[in-house]
Amino acid sequence: MEAFDPAELPELLKLYYRRLFPYAQYYRWLNYGGVIKNYFQHREFSFTLKDDIYIRYQSFNSQSDLEKEMQKMNPYKIDIGAVYSHRPNQHNTVKLGAFQAQEKELVFDIDMTDYDDVRRCCSSADICSKCWTLMTMAIRIIDRALKEDFGFKHRLWVYSGRRGVHCWVCDESVRKLSSAVRSGIVEYLSLVKGGQDVKKKVHLSENIHPFVRKSINIINKYFEEYALVEQDILGNKESCDKILALVPETIHENLQQMFQKHHSSLQRWKHLKEQLKKVARHPNDVRNDKWGPWLEWEIMLQYCFPRLDINVSKGINHLLKSPFSVHPKTGRISVPIDLQKVDQFDPFTVPTISSICRELDAISPDEEEKEENKAESNFKHRTRDYKKTSLGPYIKVFEQFLENLDKSRKGELLKKSDLQKDF
Amino acid sequence: MQFSGGKRKKLKLGGDQRNACYPHSLQFYLQPPTENISLIEFENLAIDRVKLLKAVENLGVSYVKGTEQYQSKLEAEIRKVKFSYRENLENEYEARRRDHISHFILRLAYCQSEDLRRWFIQQEMDLLRFRFSILPKDKIQDFLKDSHLQFEAISDEERRLREKDITASSPSLNGSVLELVYKIPFAEALDLFRGRKVYLEDGFAYVPLKDIVAIILNEFRTKLSKALALTARSLPAVQSDERLQPLLNHLSHSYTGQDYNTQGNVGKISLDQIDSLSTKSFPPCMRQLHKALRENHHLRHGGRMQYGLFLKGIGLTLEQALQFWKQEFIRGKMDPDKFDKGYSYNIRHSFGKEGKRTDYTPFSCMKIILNNPPGQGDYHGCPFRHSDPELLKQKLQSYKIAPAGINQILDLVKGTHYQVACQKYFEMIHNVDDCGFSLNHPNQFFIESQKILNGGKDIKKESIQPETPQPKPNVQKTKDASSALASLNSSLEMDMEGLEDYFSE
SS (H, E, C) A307-336: CCCHHHHHCCCCCEECCCCECCCCCEECCE
At B24, the pLDDT band (50, 70, 90 cuts) reads confident
| CA distance linking residue A389 with residue A384, whole number of Å | 9
Maximum mean pLDDT: which of A360-364, B254-258, B485-489: A360-364
Active-site residue identified among A69, A111, A296, A298: A111
Sign for the CA dihedral angle at A371, A374, A376, A381 comes to: negative
Residue A32, Ramachandran bin (φ over 0: left; ψ between -120 and 50: alpha; else beta): left
Q: Which amino acid type is present at position A8?
A: E
Which one of A187, A208, A213 has the shortest CB-CB distance to B194? A187
Q: Give the pLDDT confidence score for residue B291 in this predicted structure.
A: 96
Count the alpha carbons within 13 Å of A318 in the hemisphere toward its beta carbon: 21
Are A207 and B169 within 8 A, CB to CB? yes
What mean pLDDT do residues B423-433 have?
92
Radius of gyration (C-alpha) of chain B in whole angstroms? 26
Nearest residue of B to residue A210 by CA position? B165
Which one of A150, A180, A207 has the shortest CB-CB distance to B168? A207
If we measure between CA atoms, which residue out of B202, B197, B194, B187 comes closest to residue A184? B194
| Residues A24 and A62 sit within 8 Å (Cβ to Cβ) | no
| CA distance linking residue B50 with residue B63, whole number of Å | 20
| Beta bridge mates, A50 | none
| CA distance linking residue B64 with residue B62, whole number of Å | 7
Query: B457-485: buried (b, 16+ CB within 10 Å) or exposed (e) per residue?
Result: eeeeeeeeeebeeebeeeeeebbbbebbb
| Beta bridge mates, B207 | B182
Q: Is B190 helix (H, G, I), strand (E, B) or coil?
A: helix
| CA distance linking residue A35 with residue A31, whole number of Å | 8
Identify the residue with better confidence: B26 or A399: A399
Are B196 and A208 within 8 A, CB to CB? no
Instruction: Based on the residue annotation, tell me whether A111 is a catalytic residue of this protein.
Output: yes
CA distance A149 to chain B (A): 4
Instruction: Find chain A residues with C-beta within 8 A of B202's C-beta.
Output: 148-149, 151
Are A188 and B200 within 8 A, CB to CB? yes
Query: If you ran DSSP here, which 8-state letter would residue B480 be given?
Result: -
Express each pLDDT in B67-83 by its tens digit.
Answer: 888 999 999 999 888 88
Dihedral pair phi/psi, residue A124, rounded to 5°: 50, -125
Instruction: Find chain A residues with C-beta within 8 A of B200's C-beta.
Output: 149-150, 188, 211
Stated length of chain A: 423
Helices (H), B33-113: 39-62, 68-81, 93-110
Sign for the CA dihedral angle at A308, A314, A316, A318 comes to: negative
Full-model pTM: 0.68
Q: Give the pLDDT confidence score for residue A408 in this predicted structure.
A: 94
Residues 6+ apart with CB under 8 A from B197: B169, B170, B171, B172, B211
Q: Give the pLDDT confidence score for residue B500 in this predicted structure.
A: 60
Q: Give the pLDDT confidence score for residue A418 in this predicted structure.
A: 81
If we measure between CA atoms, which residue out of A45, A40, A105 comes closest to residue A78? A45
Size of interface A-B (CB pairs under 8 A): 47
Instruction: Find chain B residues with C-beta within 8 A of A184's C-beta.
Output: 190, 193-194
Express each pLDDT in B158-212 by its tens digit.
Answer: 999 999 999 999 888 776 777 788 999 999 898 899 999 999 999 999 999 878 8
Q: Which amino acid type is present at position B64?
A: V
Express each pLDDT in B36-52 by its tens digit.
Answer: 888 888 888 988 998 89
**Range name among B103-107, B368-372, B397-401, B497-501 with the lowest pLDDT average:** B497-501
| CA distance linking residue A324 with residue A31, whole number of Å | 17
Task: Give yes or no for residue B495 having a pLDDT over 60.
Answer: no
Q: Is A93 helix (H, G, I), strand (E, B) or coil?
A: helix
B169 touches chain A (CB under 8 A): yes
Across chain B, mean pLDDT equals: 80
CA distance A206 to chain B (A): 9
Query: B169-182: buried (b, 16+ CB within 10 Å) or exposed (e) per residue?
Result: bbbbbeeeebebbb
Are A209 and B201 within 8 A, CB to CB? no
Helices (H), A278-391: 294-304, 310-314, 353-363, 371-388
Which one of A150, A207, A211 has the shortest CB-CB distance to B186? A150
Radius of gyration (C-alpha) of chain A in whole angstroms? 25
| Residues B449 and B435 sit within 8 Å (Cβ to Cβ) | no
Cα dist from B494 to A390, B4, B487, whole Å: 83, 11, 14
Q: Give the pLDDT confidence score for residue B254 in this predicted structure.
A: 57
CA distance B237 to chain A (A): 24
Count the alpha carbons within 13 Å of B504 in the hemisphere toward its beta carbon: 10
Q: Give the pLDDT confidence score for residue A103 in this predicted structure.
A: 97
Instruction: Based on the residue annotation, tell me whether A44 is a catalytic residue of this protein.
Output: yes
Q: Which amino acid type is present at position B489?
A: N
Are A209 and B196 within 8 A, CB to CB? yes
Are B194 and A208 within 8 A, CB to CB? no
Instruction: Find chain A residues with C-beta within 8 A of B186's C-beta.
Output: 150-151
Residues 6+ apart with CB under 8 A from B26: B84, B85, B128, B131, B132, B135, B143
Chain A residue set in contact with B, beta carbons under 8 Å: 148-152, 177, 180-181, 183-185, 187-188, 205, 207-213
Query: If you ran DSSP here, which 8-state letter would residue A88 be given?
Result: G
Secondary structure of chain A: what % helix, strand, coil (to 5)? 55, 10, 35
Dihedral pair phi/psi, residue B381, rounded to 5°: 90, -170
Dihedral pair phi/psi, residue B182, rounded to 5°: -105, 140
| Beta bridge mates, A158 | A166, A336
One pLDDT digit (tens) per residue for chain A, 423 residues: 457 888 999 999 999 999 999 999 999 999 999 999 999 999 999 999 999 999 999 999 999 999 999 999 999 999 999 999 999 999 999 998 899 999 999 999 999 999 988 988 888 888 999 899 999 999 999 999 999 999 999 999 999 999 999 999 999 999 999 999 999 999 999 999 988 888 889 999 878 999 999 999 999 999 999 999 999 999 989 999 999 999 888 888 889 999 999 899 999 999 999 888 777 655 555 444 455 678 999 999 999 999 999 999 999 999 999 999 999 999 999 999 999 999 999 999 999 999 999 998 887 665 554 444 455 555 555 566 888 899 999 999 999 999 999 999 998 888 888 877 655
Which of A188, A215, A216, A305 to probe by mutation at the B interface, max B CB count within 10 Å?
A188
Write B116-121 long-range contacts (CB < 8 A, 24+).
B116/B252, B117/B225, B117/B228, B117/B232, B119/B57, B120/B53, B120/B228, B121/B221, B121/B224, B121/B225, B121/B228
CA B30 to chain centroid, in Å, comes to: 23
Q: Is A364 helix (H, G, I), strand (E, B) or coil?
A: coil
Which percentage of chain B shows pLDDT scores above 90?
Answer: 34
Task: Give yes or no for residue B7 having a pLDDT over 80.
Answer: no
| CA distance linking residue B39 with residue B244, whole number of Å | 9
Helices (H), A157-224: 172-175, 179-188, 210-223
CA distance A181 to chain B (A): 6
Instruction: Find chain B residues with C-beta within 8 A of A150's C-beta.
Output: 186, 200, 203
| Beta bridge mates, B208 | B181
Cα dist from B338 to B139, B326, B333, B341, B343, whole Å: 73, 10, 11, 5, 8
DSSP string, B239-295: HH-TTTHHHHHHHHT---S----S-TTTT---GGGHHHHHHHTS-HHHHHHHHHHHH
Express each pLDDT in B460-478 by its tens digit.
Answer: 333 333 333 333 333 323 3
What mean pLDDT do residues B138-165 have?
82
